[in-house]
Amino acid sequence: MGKKNKLNRSTAGDVCIFIVLALFGSFMALPLVYAIVQALKPLEEIFIFPPRFFVRRPTLENFGTLFQLTGNLWVPFSRYVFNSLFVSVVSTIGHVIFASMAAYPLAKYNFPGKNFIFNIVVMSLLFTPEVTEIPRYMVLAKTGMINSYWALLLPPLAMPLGLYLMRQFMSQIPDSVLEAAKIDGASIHQTLWRIVMPAVKPAWLTLIIFAFQSIWNRTGMAYIYVEQYKVLPTILRQLTQSSNIARAGVAAASTVLLMIPPIIIFVITQSNVIETMSYSGMKD
Amino acid sequence: MKENVNYATIPKKKNNWWKEVKRNKDCYLLLLPYMSVFTLFTVIPVLASIGLSFTYFNLLEPPQWRGWLNYIRLFLDDDVFLIAVKNTLVFAFVTGPISYFACLIFAWLINELPPKLRAFMTLVFYAPSISGSAFVIWKYILSGDMYGLLNSTLMKWGILTEPVQWLTNPLYNMKFIIVVQLWLSLGASFLAFIAGLQSIDKSMYEAGAIDGIRNRWQELWFITLPSMKPQLMFGAVMQIAASFGVSSICMELAGFPSTNYSARTVVTHIYDFGTVRYEMGYASAIATVLFVAMIITRNIIGKLLKTD
Compute φ and ψ for B56, nearest 5 degrees.
-100, 120
Q: Say how many domains are in chain B.
A: 2
Domain assignment present for residue B237? The answer is yes
* The predicted structure's pLDDT at residue A279: 46
Q: Assess whether pLDDT exceeds 90 at residue B48.
A: yes
Nearest CB neighbour to B295, from listed A24, A126, A283: A126
Q: Which residues of B touch A266 (CB under 8 A)?
A: 123, 126, 130
Q: If you ran DSSP here, which 8-state letter would residue A8 be given?
A: T
The Cα A63–Cα B36 span in angstroms is 43
Compute φ and ψ for B65, nearest 5 degrees.
-65, 130
Inter-chain touch B24–A185, beta carbons under 8 Å: no
3-state helix, strand, coil in chain A (%, to 5): 70, 0, 30
Residue B145's CATH number:
1.10.3720.10
Domain assignment present for residue B155? The answer is yes
| Residues B124-139: tens digit of each pLDDT | 999 888 877 778 888 8
Scan residues 102-121 of A and list those with Cβ closer than 8 Å to B. Answer: 102, 104-106, 109-112, 114, 117-118, 120-121
**Of B240 and A8, more confident:** B240
- Whether B75 and B139 map to the same domain: the answer is yes
Q: Which residues of B touch A120 (CB under 8 A)?
A: 43
**Residue A275 identity:** E
ipTM value, please give it: 0.89
- Whether B5 and B118 map to the same domain: the answer is no
* The predicted structure's pLDDT at residue B47: 95
Residue B76: which domain range?
A: 69-305
**Cα distance from B6 to chain A (closest Cα, Å)?**
13
Q: Assess whether pLDDT exceeds 60 at residue B10.
A: no
- Whether B24 and B147 map to the same domain: the answer is no
| pLDDT above 90 coverage of chain B, percent | 52
In chain A, CATH 1.10.3720.10 covers 60-275
- Whether B219 and B76 map to the same domain: the answer is yes
Q: Assess whether pLDDT exceeds 90 at residue A283.
A: no
- Whether B34 and B147 map to the same domain: the answer is no
Inter-chain touch B33–A280, beta carbons under 8 Å: no
* The predicted structure's pLDDT at residue A194: 92
* The predicted structure's pLDDT at residue B289: 95
Q: Assess whether pLDDT exceeds 80 at residue B217.
A: yes
Nearest CB neighbour to A206, from listed B37, B183, B192: B192
Residue of B nearest to A125 (CA): B241
Q: Assess whether pLDDT exceeds 50 at residue B2.
A: no
| pLDDT above 90 coverage of chain A, percent | 41
Domain assignment present for residue B61? The answer is no
| Residues B83-133: tens digit of each pLDDT | 999 999 999 989 999 999 999 999 999 988 888 888 889 999 998 888 777
Separate counts of helices (H) and strands (E) for chain A: 14, 0
Q: Which residues of B touch A206 (CB under 8 A)?
A: 191-192, 194-195
- Whether B111 and B229 map to the same domain: the answer is yes
- Whether B289 and B220 map to the same domain: the answer is yes
Q: Assess whether pLDDT exceeds 90 at residue B205.
A: no
Section B167-177 average pLDDT:
89
* The predicted structure's pLDDT at residue A215: 92
Section A3-30 average pLDDT:
81
- Whether B133 and B98 map to the same domain: the answer is yes
- Whether B108 and B5 map to the same domain: the answer is no
| Residues A74-99: tens digit of each pLDDT | 788 888 889 999 999 999 999 999 99
- Whether B227 and B273 map to the same domain: the answer is yes
Q: DSSP for chain B?
A: -HHHHHHHTSPP-GGGHHHHHHHTHHHHHHHHHHHHHHIIIIIHHHHHHHHHTTEE--SSSPPEE-TTHHHHHHHHS-HHHHHHHHHHHHIIIIIHHHHHHHHHHHHHHHHTS-HHHHHHHHHHHHHHHHSSSGGGHHHHHS-SSTTSHHHHHHHHTTS-SS---TTTSTTTHHHHHHHHHHHH--SHHHHHHHHHHHTS-THHHHHHHHTT--SHHHHIIIIIHHHTHHHHHHHHHHHHHHHHT--HHHHHHH-SSPGGGTT--HHHHHHIIIIIS--HHHHHHHHHHHHHHHHHHHHHHHHHHT--
Domain assignment present for residue B268? The answer is yes
Element housing B281 (H / E): helix B280-305
Q: Assess whether pLDDT exceeds 70 at residue A159.
A: yes
- Whether B44 and B137 map to the same domain: the answer is no
Q: Assess whether pLDDT exceeds 50 at residue A275.
A: yes
* The predicted structure's pLDDT at residue A246: 65
* The predicted structure's pLDDT at residue B12: 53
Domain assignment present for residue B252? The answer is yes
- Whether B31 and B167 map to the same domain: the answer is no
**Of A233 and A114, more confident:** A114
Nearest CB neighbour to A117, from listed B35, B42, B155: B35
| Residues A37-84: tens digit of each pLDDT | 888 888 788 777 777 788 888 888 888 888 887 777 778 888 888 999
| Of B225, B41, B130, B69, nearest in space to A270 by CA | B130
Instruction: Assign A230 to helix, strand or coil.
Output: coil
CA B12 to chain centre: 37
Architecture of A60-275 per CATH? Orthogonal Bundle (1.10)
**Of B9 and A110, more confident:** A110
